[in-house]
């Protein structure tokens, strides 16, 4: 139980601050009238409808971005494993990066990286 004391103290502190901000009216800023606190564009009026569609050319670029994000997510733990495994981990990461490179080359060939 003694090992959990810091975590319980942090939880109690966060709970107390949240409760104070909810109960005590002076803890919150006064809300402006409705049009100024609209939930889009930081309070401005929108230029398009919320259900408007995006052009399909943005989706391949988004998928390439997600592929690079996944690459970084796998490279951080790989750096720790590389110290322990050595050349085997290096070969595995080489195959992984080669597959991602093929995906980028395909996206480049299909002109998915052009922003027009």
Residues 68-87 have pLDDT tens digits of: 787 778 788 888 888 888 89
The verdict on 37 and 61 lying in the same domain is: no
Q: Domain tally for the chain? A: 2
Taking CA atoms, 19 is separated from 24, 25, 28, in Å, by 8, 11, 12
Q: Is the pLDDT of residue 46 over 80?
A: no
The verdict on 39 and 66 lying in the same domain is: no
Q: Which residue has the tokens 């909810």?
A: 22
The verdict on 19 and 40 lying in the same domain is: yes
The verdict on 108 and 86 lying in the same domain is: yes
Distance CA 67, CA 41 (A): 28
The verdict on 110 and 61 lying in the same domain is: yes
Q: Is the pLDDT of residue 20 over 60?
A: yes
The verdict on 40 and 58 lying in the same domain is: no
Q: Which positions ≥6 away from 113 have C-beta within 8 Å? A: 61, 64, 107
- Domain span at residue 32 reads 1-46
């Amino acid at each position: 139980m003694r090992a959990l004391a810091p975590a319980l103290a942090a939880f109690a502190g966060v709970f107390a601050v949240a409760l104070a901000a909810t109960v005590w009216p002076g803890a919150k800023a006064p809300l402006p009238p409705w049009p100024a606190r609209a939930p889009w564009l930081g309070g401005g009026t929108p230029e398009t409808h919320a259900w408007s569609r995006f052009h399909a050319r943005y989706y391949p670029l988004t998928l390439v971005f997600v592929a690079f994000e996944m690459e970084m997510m796998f490279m951080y733990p790989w750096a720790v494993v590389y110290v322990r495994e050595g050349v085997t981990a290096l070969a595995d990461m080489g195959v992984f990066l080669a597959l991602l490179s093929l995906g980028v080359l395909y996206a480049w060939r299909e002109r998915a990286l052009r922003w027009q």
